[in-house]
Amino acid sequence: MIHKLKDRDSLILAGSVIGLGLILWLMALPLAALPDPIGPAATQFAEGALTTIQLTLWACFFGIVLGVLTALGKRSHLPPLRWIADLYVWIIRGTPLLLQILFFFLALPAIAPQLQLSEFWTAVIALSLNVGAYNAEVIRAGINAVPNGQVEAARSLGLSALYTFWDIVLPQAVRISLPPLANNMVALLKDSSLAYAIGVVELSMVSSRVQAESFQPVPVFITVAAIYLLLTTTFTQFAAALERKLAVGKR
């Protein structure tokens, strides 16, 4: 039974990755068959979807790294590290994401001109910092959920603190934290639409341009909503299969 579950979940994981690639590669074909204003802008929608996925994946990667580091900082025995981690989470979770994106695009170059980046990477940094703060609380809760007895047993066997964390605590914390982390990833995919505010040509920017040129908001926004639903469903299926695969060993 366990092997069947593993095989099924492995197929879903592989299918989700392949499906996402096919969606991005072939999206323009079915869209091109639709009437105006969607058909003539099919390539624009496909390129916008690709940019949306790129924003999401880069920000998701950096957000998880930031989340782990911040969670460790909040658990640190050194007060300065705890203060920095708490301040970071407090600021990011207490201010709107749109404001953060605009700050990094408009205010940061005025403060430090040498830090001026492209619109895409500015959005990646802002999204990463935002999701990283939320991931930090999720990962910290996952670490706290690992029984202290396992840590004490590992240390009593002579394992170092680093090895204990990396090989015993972190894998269990990731398994526990996976469902809320997956929710954060799906939310990040949708939040990436705010990158249009600084000129990143992702799905929302494409829809705004096509709508402005055609004056037909209904078909444009229905198409964009359908694309977002397709992408979020693929991400959700991948996360659900990964969660089941990691949980199989506990059954």
Q: Which residue has the tokens 């469902």?
A: 179
Provide the CA 102 distance to its chain's centre, in angstroms: 19
Do 185 and 176 contact (CB within 8 A), yes or no?
A: no
Neighbouring C-alpha atoms within 13 Å toward the C-beta of 170? 14
Q: Which amino acid would we find at residue 101?
A: I
Do 203 and 45 contact (CB within 8 A), yes or no?
A: yes
Q: Which of 7-21, 24-38, 141-155 has the lowest mean pLDDT?
A: 7-21
Buried b (16+ CB within 10 A) or exposed e, 162-184: eebbeebbbebbbbbbbebbbeb
DSSP states along 54-89: HHHHHHHHHHHHHHHHHHHHHT-SSHHHHHHHHHHH
Would you place residue 109 in the very low, low, confident or very high pLDDT band (cuts 50, 70, 90)?
Answer: confident
Do 245 and 13 contact (CB within 8 A), yes or no?
A: yes
Is pLDDT at 208 greater than 70 in this prediction?
A: yes
Is pLDDT at 70 greater than 90 in this prediction?
A: yes
- Domain range annotation of the chain: 2-250
Is pLDDT at 47 greater than 70 in this prediction?
A: yes
Is pLDDT at 251 greater than 50 in this prediction?
A: no
Q: Which of 193, 196, 182 is nearest to 242 (CA)?
A: 182
> Residue 202 has what DSSP assignment?
S
Looking at residue 198, what is its pLDDT? 94
Q: Per-residue pLDDT averaged across 73-79, rounded?
A: 89
| Residue 59 CB neighbours (<10 A) | 27
Domain spanning 2-250 has what CATH number? 1.10.3720.10
Looking at residue 179, what is its pLDDT? 84
